[in-house]
Structure 1
Amino acid sequence: MEIRRYRDTGVNEVASKDDHRIDAIMKELEYLRSELAQKKVETSISKYFNEEIFTKDREALLKDGFITIGIVVVGEKGSAFPVDIDTSQSVGKLKDAIRENPECGFPKSKLHLFLARKDDNTWLESSTDDAKLLKKGEKTALIEALTDEDNELDGEFGLEEVLEGMPEPKTKQIHVLVVVPPQSFVSTEVVAVVKKRKLAQVRELITPSSFAKCKGGGSWEKWLKKLDGQIECHRIERSVDETPIPLVLLNKTFARFEENCKQIEFGNEDCEFVRNLCHGMSTPNESEAALAEKARELLKEYLLADFPASTITPATVNGSVSDGSYRYGETLLLNLVCKLQKGDDPTMQNVAYYIKNLPDEIDRQFPWFLVDICGPLMSVFGIVNTGDENAICEPLVMSFPLLFFDNEWLIISLTRACASLKRAVRELTEECEQRVSSSRKLARWQQTIDLDRLRFPYKDAVERYVFVAKVQDGNEVIVKFAKRYGMEVHQYCSSAGFAPALICCESLPNGWFFVVMERLPLIPLSRVEVNDRMVRHQLIEIKSHLAAASLVHGDLRENNVMWDPVKHRVVLIDFDWSGKDGTDTYPPFMNPEIMWPPGAESGKPLRVAHDAYWLAMWSHNRPNLNKIVKNKKEILSAKKAYSEIQALKQQLL
């Protein structure tokens, strides 16, 4: 099915002149390669541009730098599949290709790759007993040796370097072994649960001074890797591809602080504090102790003006002394770390102080503000535990240079952040007072944005900020948190019968949306075998309904166009980008590798024609859509290659 067939459906085609242009690019690139051979200039771009070229030139492509690598996932039965890749690419690119392969039985997570290279520098043949047992999910002594951690392939290495000295990969061979952390597999078999440490146990094992260092025995890098996401600071990749719920969705004070930083009103007192803070932190200080003392006094007079009996003082915990801590009784609410130099990380040291101050019994949330002053630069982070095993730390506002100069926007932003911090500290203090004065034991004090919404008994995380939950009547629903949501479009599509029922859509204090919808047994449309004529008819109906209401979905890629096998219908999901034609706009940072409809760009208006583009593609090319979209990406790569060719020409001059 050629891409140009989209013409009859109103989709902008890849015209024949573009095909000729691609051919010209290829010929010119071939010429330049030969001309630049003596200079050892290698140019590598994909040559899979459309299905016609894909079919005609595949064999030639595999001889011209492309190889087919046999992949097997260790420990997973029936997980063998091939991957085509250009040998000029890196091991990291091979990982990406493995993740994107539709035959993978595991989610996108951290992969560990190993060559299936035997001692005699030959590949593991599929006919051997080791290979047969491997494909059944079993591990032999040979596989154990091949996947020893010392043999792991570095993601930055080039494939040509890795494959040097090995025979050319052929069929009926295994070339690369993939090891995925056990908790990452999507499998029906029982997987051992990794035992987690309690935060109270971690507290006894770390020290703030060591935790502030990037390298070394007690460094934050070592501990965050070992804890594998239990203390989430967005600094170390988890072994499981999960995105934690943002801090502002876990605590209402953090949510209001973030919102206040954008709009809070401030007065002379706030402006005077900012002027004094900038002067005190930017002028030379003899030592970190002097810097910390000055910061403590300024913050105490400003933040605690409503609580004259309170103070910010150095606090000693298990031998570690903080630069400044504000407590209400035994509950610490704000901690200060100041640095002049030495290369230590003030934020990570602050995180360690948080862990060190947690009680033995963690039966509620303990929210803190972490203030870092590193030279003339101030940052404000929030940190809170999400149980007795996990905590999350995130920046709540940009870092500010504490320099009082003629930049009104920057100074106003800093003033709003300081005024917001003062209000947030007052809020945490008042809640502590209420808790102490209350005769009730609030086991869930300070739990999640006033929301019984977040107290759903969540069963599973489906994807980023999307969860399966069970409501009181026992039915399962989908719960989603989104920065924007097209509620009107979702309701319209649901009423028309081609979207899940929208149960709830509320705006939270921090600007996020809390969305609940019915859970349906959906299957990606590209993977289901149904009558094409019936599907095409439904897609045309969907297109007509949306156009009639001047509504746009905006993101009708594969994962958002599903099939309901119970009601035999096409169903649209993921209405984050949806809105009105010509009024609402696309979000920032759209994936540049996607061949979006013409005019569909970050910040540009949503258009009915964009949905028509996707729906027409689905109508006429459903079985081959994955390949077509992939080929369209490569056409885009070819167009980018034109600029590269011009640069290569300059090298020949």
Structure 2
Amino acid sequence: MVRLFCSIVGVAGSAFSVEVNEGKTVDDLKEAIKAKKANDFKEVDADKLQLFLAKTAGGAWLDGAGAAGVILDNAGAPVSRDENGAPQGFKKMDPLLWINNGNHFGKNFRPAEGNVHVLVVVPDQQLVSATAAISVKKRKLAEISDLITPSSFAKCKGSGSWVKWLKKLNGQIECHRVERSDDETPIPVVLLNETFARFEENCKVIKFSQNDCEFVSKLCHGLSTPYNSEATFAEKARQLLTAYLLGDDPVSTITPAIVNGSVSDGSYRFGETLLLNLECKLQKGDGGGDPTMQNVAYYIKNLPFVIDRQFPCLLVDICGPFMSVFGIVNTSDEDAICEPLVMSFPLLFFDNEWLMVSLARMCASLKAAVQELTNSCYELSASRHHDAFGLHLTTLDRLRFPYKDSVERNGTDISFQYLEVVQRFVFRANHAGVNVIIKFAKRYGAEVHDYCWGAGFAPKLLFCELLPNGWVFVVMEQLPLCPLRQANGMIVRDQLLKIENALQDGSFVHGDLREHNVMWDTSKNRVVLIDFDWSGRDGVDTYPPFMNAEIAWPPGAVCGEPLQVAHDAYWIASIAARLK
């Protein structure tokens, strides 16, 4: 008997092994594969599976990462790309030949640990159903950690590149560089972690000191000059950042760290927890790949095998005379998201006061964020030390929701338990047995919402709080809503006219009365308005930037221009005309 490791082409995390007598035929191997994956291939006949040797043109067997990088070409055959980006095909196994035939494995074949031997291609007509059954089996971050190499992950070409991996992982590591099959956009990191939110806000408003200005001067003069050695460049960056960020703690330092054979340019840890990682490149376009992606790989490789909480980390890239800061955090033991927390800054000391002041604020904010993450680790460590039963940790499911889950009123904390994601920034939650709707927005017309609730055509606004980085936390009652088309058209028209008049009387504009924001409340048989993000006063407040250009907005409804009651009338007339 021989044990062969197989991988299904086009399906991430699909590697599995089968045992088969090497004296059997490839057709028998197909039967063994179908038996091993009976649920996944229940709609696929064994003889319809196509098997290929997972061997490169040079005769080497693929490893897990290499197999994950294999895709199907337009003809449905498996291909991968070598380090130079050239396509490479794979030899198809003949179902009539023995497994130990010289054209396949040969009589002296001995499998080695870590190799993949067989690539399995599912016929086109069954590929969708088989993939759907398997795709829910996402890789754990701990498994991904074993498969990626930071130096290869930094590159945009090759089987171990970030491009190949992000496509295969299909959104598990979200960096906004590769499209996801579900076309979803995850929750921003500044809503997932409060330290990141404060960093974003501090970059705009933090009060910086003479010490911060002196550091910026040293940073610019120390890193803007050319270096011949990346190691020397990285050492200089480590020295500067350690003295500034961790100078108050003589024990702490940013040092190169070895993780599974990969050495970082600089890592700051609390125990085994990575809080900041530094990646340096001599110049843009000088080779060596993308420093941000290399940083992402180091974060993944530093995660513990068992993930039981959130692990936020700051990623600092210095590429020539440019410095960037990203935030990365896991949202489960399978998913992580990385986003820039601030613009990239040129490390050039010159007469642009706004740039220099902004850089000083960014550095001061970075120092505050590092201290905050460190303090959080101290608190976690102390809680575990003093609690004989250990700290009660949040469930992994909690990590996919925003950090903000409570409000304070009259000295009392009112907490909410998130239940589900309704839309990207809208969630269903519970407080004291009552379901509510929680929404996050960049701006919110609370005055208009309250006015509409008082007039009887909006959910009750329970709380509205401005968060540190400018986001608005909104809590409202949950109503049983359905589309207007399910209600009596004549009743709806009459109520729409009353709503239009009430808004005009108050000189208020909703601003976005598209049909999905005008709903029917089945509990009170009434039309209600939702989504007051853009709402404001007629002729005073303005439309936001980046309005969807594919939508036929009312005439005059343009980015930066004033809201007008006529715009609401336009939408209401449009809805009324479509009612039966």
Partner residue of 2:333? 388
SS in 2 for 1:543: helix
Distance in 1 of aligned mates of 2:328 and 2:420: 24
Aligned with residue 447 of structure 2, among 473, 488, 492: 488
Partner residue of 2:488? 530
Q: Work out whether residues 379 and 399 of structure 1, in 8 Å CA contact, stay in contact via their aligned partners in 2.
A: yes
> Once the 2 structures are TM-superposed, how far is the Cα of residue 272 of structure 1 from its aligned partner?
1.2
Partner residue of 2:199? 257
Task: State the one-letter code of the partner of 2:500.
Answer: K
Deviates more, 1:575-584 or 1:452-461: 452-461
Distance in 1 of aligned mates of 2:328 and 2:127: 30
Whether 2:402 is the aligned partner of 1:444: answer no
Task: State the one-letter code of the partner of 2:421.
Answer: A
Aligned with residue 592 of structure 1, among 540, 549, 555: 549
Whether 2:252 is the aligned partner of 1:310: answer yes
Distance in 2 of aligned mates of 1:421 and 1:193: 38
Q: Work out whether residues 480 and 522 of structure 2, in 8 Å CA contact, stay in contact via their aligned partners in 1.
A: yes
SS in 2 for 1:325: strand
Whether 2:284 is the aligned partner of 1:342: answer no
Q: Work out whether residues 242 and 463 of structure 1, in 8 Å CA contact, stay in contact via their aligned partners in 2.
A: no
> Once the 2 structures are TM-superposed, how far is the Cα of residue 599 of structure 1 from its aligned partner?
2.3
Aligned pairs for 1:29-428 (under 5 A) are 150=74, 194-340=136-282, 341-428=286-373
**1:472/1:181 CA distance change after superposition, 3 Å:** farther
Structure 1 stretches lacking a partner, 5+ long: 1-137, 153-176, 186-190, 625-653
**1:451/1:566 CA distance change after superposition, 3 Å:** closer
**1:579/1:371 CA distance change after superposition, 3 Å:** same
Aligned with residue 559 of structure 2, among 602, 610, 626: 602
Partner residue of 1:467? 427
Q: Work out whether residues 376 and 401 of structure 1, in 8 Å CA contact, stay in contact via their aligned partners in 2.
A: yes
Task: State the one-letter code of the partner of 2:489.
Answer: N
Aligned with residue 541 of structure 1, among 498, 511, 519: 498
Distance in 2 of aligned mates of 1:570 and 1:180: 45
Q: Work out whether residues 191 and 404 of structure 2, in 8 Å CA contact, stay in contact via their aligned partners in 1.
A: no
Q: Work out whether residues 181 and 239 of structure 1, in 8 Å CA contact, stay in contact via their aligned partners in 2.
A: no
Distance in 2 of aligned mates of 1:320 and 1:565: 60
Partner residue of 1:498? 457
Whether 2:468 is the aligned partner of 1:509: answer yes
Task: State the one-letter code of the partner of 1:396.
Answer: L
Aligned with residue 571 of structure 2, among 614, 635, 641: 614
The number of residue pairs the alignment matches comes to: 450
Q: Work out whether residues 556 and 611 of structure 1, in 8 Å CA contact, stay in contact via their aligned partners in 2.
A: yes
**1:343/1:207 CA distance change after superposition, 3 Å:** closer
> Once the 2 structures are TM-superposed, how far is the Cα of residue 222 of structure 1 from its aligned partner?
1.6
SS in 1 for 2:326: strand
**1:520-550 C-alpha deviation (Å, 9 max, x unpaired):** 332333x436233x22211111011111111
**1:149/1:521 CA distance change after superposition, 3 Å:** farther
**1:301-340 C-alpha deviation (Å, 9 max, x unpaired):** 1111221221111111111000011122222211100012
Higher relative contact order (CA 8 A, sep 6+): 1
Task: State the one-letter code of the partner of 1:409.
Answer: W
Distance in 2 of aligned mates of 1:216 and 1:239: 22
**1:32-66 C-alpha deviation (Å, 9 max, x unpaired):** xxxxxxxxxxxxxxxxxxxxxxxxxxxxxxxxxxx
**1:602-633 C-alpha deviation (Å, 9 max, x unpaired):** 111212222122223333x1249xxxxxxxxx
Q: Work out whether residues 500 and 569 of structure 2, in 8 Å CA contact, stay in contact via their aligned partners in 1.
A: yes
Partner residue of 1:52? none
Q: Work out whether residues 184 and 241 of structure 1, in 8 Å CA contact, stay in contact via their aligned partners in 2.
A: no
**1:300/1:567 CA distance change after superposition, 3 Å:** same
Higher strand share: 2
Task: State the one-letter code of the partner of 1:322.
Answer: S
**1:199-255 C-alpha deviation (Å, 9 max, x unpaired):** 112111111111111121111122212222111111111111322111111111111
Distance in 2 of aligned mates of 1:459 and 1:430: 29
Deviates more, 1:396-405 or 1:322-331: 322-331
**1:443/1:401 CA distance change after superposition, 3 Å:** farther
Partner residue of 1:98? none
Q: Work out whether residues 292 and 315 of structure 2, in 8 Å CA contact, stay in contact via their aligned partners in 1.
A: yes
> Once the 2 structures are TM-superposed, how far is the Cα of residue 279 of structure 1 from its aligned partner?
1.4
Q: Work out whether residues 151 and 288 of structure 2, in 8 Å CA contact, stay in contact via their aligned partners in 1.
A: no
Q: Work out whether residues 508 and 565 of structure 2, in 8 Å CA contact, stay in contact via their aligned partners in 1.
A: yes
> Once the 2 structures are TM-superposed, how far is the Cα of residue 404 of structure 1 from its aligned partner?
1.2
Task: State the one-letter code of the partner of 1:442.
Answer: L
Partner residue of 1:476? 435
Distance in 2 of aligned mates of 1:499 and 1:195: 41
Distance in 1 of aligned mates of 2:201 and 2:457: 35
Distance in 1 of aligned mates of 2:193 and 2:44: 49
TM-score (norm 2): 0.72
> Once the 2 structures are TM-superposed, how far is the Cα of residue 587 of structure 1 from its aligned partner?
0.3
CA RMSD across the alignment? 3.0
> Once the 2 structures are TM-superposed, how far is the Cα of residue 198 of structure 1 from its aligned partner?
1.5
> Once the 2 structures are TM-superposed, how far is the Cα of residue 179 of structure 1 from its aligned partner?
11
Distance in 2 of aligned mates of 1:586 and 1:267: 37
**1:333-392 C-alpha deviation (Å, 9 max, x unpaired):** 111000122150100110110111111221111111100011111100011112211111
Distance in 1 of aligned mates of 2:141 and 2:428: 27
Q: Work out whether residues 457 and 499 of structure 2, in 8 Å CA contact, stay in contact via their aligned partners in 1.
A: yes
Q: Work out whether residues 386 and 392 of structure 1, in 8 Å CA contact, stay in contact via their aligned partners in 2.
A: yes
Q: Work out whether residues 489 and 579 of structure 2, in 8 Å CA contact, stay in contact via their aligned partners in 1.
A: no
Distance in 2 of aligned mates of 1:524 and 1:178: 37
> Once the 2 structures are TM-superposed, how far is the Cα of residue 184 of structure 1 from its aligned partner?
12
Distance in 2 of aligned mates of 1:517 and 1:389: 32
Q: Work out whether residues 459 and 467 of structure 1, in 8 Å CA contact, stay in contact via their aligned partners in 2.
A: yes
Task: State the one-letter code of the partner of 1:238.
Answer: R
Distance in 1 of aligned mates of 2:370 and 2:310: 16
SS in 2 for 1:204: helix
**1:103-140 C-alpha deviation (Å, 9 max, x unpaired):** xxxxxxxxxxxxxxxxxxxxxxxxxxxxxxxxxxx999
SS in 1 for 2:74: helix
Q: Percent identity?
A: 66
Deviates more, 1:504-513 or 1:372-381: 504-513
Distance in 2 of aligned mates of 1:429 and 1:343: 31
> Once the 2 structures are TM-superposed, how far is the Cα of residue 451 of structure 1 from its aligned partner?
3.4
Deviates more, 1:502-511 or 1:333-342: 502-511
Task: State the one-letter code of the partner of 2:369.
Answer: A
Distance in 2 of aligned mates of 1:513 and 1:363: 29
Q: Work out whether residues 339 and 375 of structure 1, in 8 Å CA contact, stay in contact via their aligned partners in 2.
A: yes
**1:315/1:286 CA distance change after superposition, 3 Å:** same
